[in-house]
Amino acid sequence: MTITSSNRRRVRDAGPSGWLAAPALAFFLVFAVVPLAGVVFLSFTSWDGLREIRLEGLASWTTVLTDPVTGNALLVTAKIVFFSFIVQAPISLLLGVFTAGSQKYRAALAVLYFLPLLLSSAAVAIAFKALLDPNFGLGPGLQVPLLIQDWLGNSDLVLFVVVFVIAWQFVPFHTLIYQGGVRQIPTSLYEAAEIDGAGRVRQFLNITLPQLKYTIITSSTLMVVGSLAYFDLIFVLTGGGPGYSTRLLPLHMYLTGFKANDMGAASALGVILIVIGLGLALLLQRLGGKNRNDSQLEGA
């Protein structure tokens, strides 16, 4: 499949051999595409992780689709994806615009803003677990009665705590994306608006937001697909509890497969996760319009 000059008019136009892409492709095929097919296959089997894999037909699917815990996990996932997005998107957009400014103190702030990028989810989860401790954490420390709560033990509160901790960890990354996007907006647009007498809010609404369209799509896609894969943070922070209140889909998949040893059902959950992720990503791309080529849509 070498892309040579065979059907090309000028020899110097010949691109490189497509085989240069082969090593990357091979890795990706073996460890991503084959498992992708594998997870579909395994969802029709029964396997405890150790013994033989046996074909079972739709048994795992029936189990998964009739199990109320699955519905609950879907609901928890939807809530976490939705609230994470609602919280993170505006904060990172505004912080991105803010840090794109050039005063020295903003640069100094930005040094600290991006610290959470360095921490592993396990570290973040452990830190917040200690911080939110009803006896030795923030609440008793600051002596604010409102803050003295069993944050992680209260099933009404815990979801919002999780959303907050996710935001704490991931807003810096999206801020960075927006900061880069804002810095690419031509200054002349603002100068023109200034001359026309447009205030800061108008400039933001009429220049910054439209110019950031593709940045918003990129960030949102990464945010949504990323939140479908949240696992480490919630696994360490709450373990899915109390009860099932933070047991979102990836965690439910892990617990079904590796704790309850039902790999067939876990694979069915994996397939559901993949379908949702792909669907949401395509939806976001569609919302963004089609006037850009694929690669830029994904990564702009």
Partner 1 sequence: MASTTQLPAAPEAPVLTHAAPRLNSRRAGRRRPNLPGGLGGWLWLAVIVLPIYYVVITSLKNQAGFFATNPMLPPAEPTLDNYRLVLENDFARYFLNSVVVTLGTVIPALFVSFMAAYAIVRGKGRFVNWTNNLFLLGLAIPLHATIIPIYWMITRAHLYDTLLALILPSIAFAIPVSVLILSNFMRDVPNELFESMRLDGCSDWAMLWRLALPMTKPAVITVGIYNALHVWNGFLFPLILTQSPATRVLPLSLWTFQGEFSVNIPAVLASVVLATLPLLVLYIVARRQLISGLTAGFSK
Residues from 64 through 93 that contact partner 1 (CB under 8 A): 91
Nearer residue to partner 1 within complex by CB, 25 or 78: 25
Q: Report in angstroms how near the CB of residue 208 gets to partner 1 at its nearest.
A: 11
Nearer residue to partner 1 within complex by CB, 71 or 196: 196
Six-digit token string for 144: 């604010």
Neighbours of 176 (CB within 10 A): 19
Nearer residue to partner 1 within complex by CB, 3 or 59: 3
Where are the alpha helices (H) located in the chain, listed in sequence order? 22-28, 34-42, 59-66, 68-100, 104-113, 121-131, 138-142, 158-183, 187-195, 200-203, 209-211, 213-228, 232-237, 249-254, 263-287, 294-299
| Cβ atoms of residues 99 and 110 within 8 Å | yes
Q: Report in angstroms how near the CB of residue 218 gets to partner 1 at its nearest.
A: 7
| Cβ atoms of residues 217 and 297 within 8 Å | yes
Cα 238 from Cα 116, distance rounded (Å): 20
- Per CB under 8 A, the list member of 46, 88, 245, 267 interacting with partner 1 is 267
**Is the Cα torsion angle 212, 213, 218, 223 positive or negative in sign?**
positive
Cα 109 from Cα 139, distance rounded (Å): 26
The verdict on 208 binding partner 1 (CB under 8 A) reads no
Q: Report in angstroms how near the CB of residue 79 gets to partner 1 at its nearest.
A: 17
Nearer residue to partner 1 within complex by CB, 32 or 146: 32
Residue 12: alpha-carbon gap to chain centroid: 43
Neighbours of 294 (CB within 10 A): 9
The verdict on 146 binding partner 1 (CB under 8 A) reads no
The verdict on 3 binding partner 1 (CB under 8 A) reads yes
Nearer residue to partner 1 within complex by CB, 80 or 266: 266
Q: Report in angstroms how near the CB of residue 86 gets to partner 1 at its nearest.
A: 16
Q: Report in angstroms how near the CB of residue 258 gets to partner 1 at its nearest.
A: 7
Q: Report in angstroms how near the CB of residue 72 gets to partner 1 at its nearest.
A: 18
The residues pairing with 297 across neighbouring beta strands, listed in sequence order, are: none
Question: Total residues contacting partner 1 (rule CB under 8 A)?
Answer: 122
Give me the 147-186 binding string for partner 1, x by CB under 8 A, dash otherwise.
Answer: ---------------------x--xxx--xx-xxx-xx--
Cα 136 from Cα 116, distance rounded (Å): 23
Six-digit token string for 37: 């097919």
Return the residues of window 10-69 that contact partner 1 according to CB under 8 A: 12, 14-21, 23-25, 27-28, 30-36, 38-39, 41-42, 49, 53
For tokens 């570290």, name the residue.
123
- Per CB under 8 A, the list member of 44, 67, 85, 114 interacting with partner 1 is 114
Cα 150 from Cα 196, distance rounded (Å): 54
Amino acid present at 84: S
Q: Which stretch binds partner 1 (CB under 8 A): 59-67, 80-88, 154-162, 260-268?
A: 260-268
Q: Report in angstroms how near the CB of residue 295 gets to partner 1 at its nearest.
A: 7
Return the residues of window 211-250 that contact partner 1 according to CB under 8 A: 215, 218, 221-222, 225, 228-229, 231-232, 235-236, 250
Q: Report in angstroms how near the CB of residue 145 gets to partner 1 at its nearest.
A: 15
